[in-house]
Amino acid sequence: MSKKNNNVISSIGLDNFISKHGLWNSEQIKAAKELVQRVEEEGIKYVRVTYCDQHGLTRGKMLPVKQFIAVLKNGLASTHAIFAMDSANNIFLPVFSEDGGFGNAEMGGAGDMVLVPDPTTFRLLPWGDSTAWVLSDLYLKSGAVMPFSPRAILANQLQDLHAKGYELLIGLEVEFHVFKIDDPHLTMQASTQPAEPPSVSPLAHAYQYQGEQNLDEVAPLMELFHQHLAALELPIRSLEDEWGPGQCEITMEPLPAMQAADAMVLMRTTLKQLARRHGYLVSFMCKPALPNVYSSGWHLHQSLVDLKSGDNAFATTDEAQFLSPIGQQYVAGLIEHARACTAFSNPTINGYKRMNANALAPNRAVWSVDNKAACLRLANAGDPSAHIENRSGEPAANPYLFFASQLAAGMDGIETKKDPGPPLNDPYAQTDKTPLPASLMEAVTALDESELLRKVIGNTFVDYYLMLKRHEIHRFLSTVTDWEHREYFERY
């Protein structure tokens, strides 16, 4: 019998990879031990070991529970070539070259990285057959952090933030669309790259904002959503019928930043999978190409908590001020770096269809007190719960990168004691203020020129992200649109 070679990666990972490299903290070690007992006691059959990719989408593998227990020691092998895929899953880098096109010798040949489950994210999926779900951190086979992992980028910044005595608290307010699937177009001819999307119809007529009659029409599905989200321990605050046809909104209680990012990933995954099982389509695309739809946004509520006192660092008892000095400096940082940060808050071509004045979306880097036309709205001014709402984001954004860019900008404002100037009463009238990018092309250029984000997030990731997004932009610019055909074909 041949001797086992523990240095060869298998589909389960590398022998004792997690303990060898010290990849879990004490909380995770304890949680992993409890999981081994739990999966046996609860009769769990399968575990989906997942991770969040560069696009904010979950990928992973479904494992029988016996194999999952081994993964809690060895990690799980999966190709890092996925990070060479664009939003249509086209490979845009030479993955079989010596460095895979990543500029990293450990990432050549479309080889494997190692998924290391975070046992604190383990959840039982209520719609699955004795199936659980867990998020993973990503590592190279050497034990080094996978340099393009969005979750790792946020984790690094939060570690620095905690060392400075703060926690970033995030509240999620996310709009999305839900439609009935009339025809899924599941044919070989429609299985293109990307595939032809389903034909859909709305759940109810639109433009009755928060009307109870409309709410009642969508209530059966919203109740189903809430039952499953609550079972996943997501702190849902409200479920709402929004503005356009099929448009809904979900808000959550504030969470520490990493928990909030994980919650966003799990919520999007849950809604899309649950809806599809019941004949519906949930889309977090900003503005679908459907008649009479209204664009969706992601409003990001944020504040800093003082770790020593537990107090909101943005709150103030000074009646002459709306926001604490630290809060004002944080806002000033968000304003100064808003253009570059938009590459992460609005990472798709489509996300900029919403960014224009009087479309219930901001168009300039300004702040206000409770004025929702501003990019940055101070909510609950003078209250212990005072916080900043960034209203510019799109619901397709990668939460780890969205949060990381906001934190980098805000902390730069604090560390350099920036001044945001007075809050504005009429944000749309401020034509002399810095405009937000009107396209992904503009946002990518601003990111490329950002010394701060290159310093904090790192040149390695920023250059990779620029390459990814410029490829996406090139694909879009190379496509002849319906508008062009209508505009020029017959006339010229």
- Model confidence pLDDT, tens digit, residues 436-458: 999 999 999 999 999 999 999 99
Specify the CATH architecture of the domain 160-486. Answer: 2-Layer Sandwich (3.30)
Q: What is the pLDDT of residues 260-305, one digit of tens each?
A: 999 999 999 999 999 999 999 999 999 999 999 999 999 999 999 9
Do the domains 17-146 and 160-486 sit in the same CATH topology, yes or no? no
Angle formed by the axes of helices 399-415 and 257-277, to 10°? 160
Which of 3.10.20.70, 3.30.70.890, 3.40.50.300, 3.40.50.920 is the CATH number of 17-146? 3.10.20.70
Beta bridge partners of 255: 170
Q: Are 170 and 254 in contact (CB under 8 A)?
A: yes
Given a cut of 60, whether residue 8 has pLDDT beyond it is no
Given a cut of 90, whether residue 107 has pLDDT beyond it is yes
Beta strands in 70-155, from DSSP E residues, in sequence order: 76-79, 112-117, 123-125, 131-139
- Pinpoint the alpha helices (H) of 376-450: 399-415, 440-448
Residue 358 binned pLDDT confidence (cut-offs 50, 70, 90): low
Q: Are 396 and 305 in contact (CB under 8 A)?
A: no
Given a cut of 90, whether residue 212 has pLDDT beyond it is no
Q: Are 133 and 143 in contact (CB under 8 A)?
A: no
Beta strands in 188-344, from DSSP E residues, in sequence order: 199-202, 236-241, 247-252, 255-256, 280-283, 298-306
Given a cut of 80, whether residue 148 has pLDDT beyond it is yes
- SS3 state at 304: strand
Contacts of 133 (CB under 8 A, 6+ apart): 47, 48, 50, 122, 123, 124, 125, 266, 269
Q: What is the pLDDT of residues 166-208, one digit of tens each?
A: 999 999 999 999 999 999 999 999 998 889 999 999 988 878 8
Higher-confidence position of 141 and 321: 141
Quick one: average pLDDT of 85-99?
95
Q: What is the pLDDT of residues 391-417, one digit of tens each?
A: 999 999 999 999 999 999 999 999 999
DSSP string across 305-340: EETTT--BTT----TT-SS-HHHHHHHHHHHHTHHH
Q: What is the predicted pLDDT for the residue at 430?
A: 84
Q: What is the predicted pLDDT for the residue at 10?
A: 59
d(CA 404, CA 158) in angstroms, rounded, equals: 8
Higher-confidence position of 256 and 356: 256
Q: What is the mean pLDDT of the chain?
A: 94
Q: What is the predicted pLDDT for the residue at 3?
A: 45
Q: What is the predicted pLDDT for the residue at 213?
A: 83
Which one, of 247, 248, 149, lies nearest residue 238 by Cα? 248
Residue 357 binned pLDDT confidence (cut-offs 50, 70, 90): low
d(CA 467, CA 45) in angstroms, rounded, equals: 40
DSSP code at position 359: S
Task: Give the domain ranges of the chain.
Answer: 17-146, 160-486
- Min mean pLDDT across 331-335, 352-356, 472-476 is at 352-356
Q: What is the predicted pLDDT for the residue at 2?
A: 42
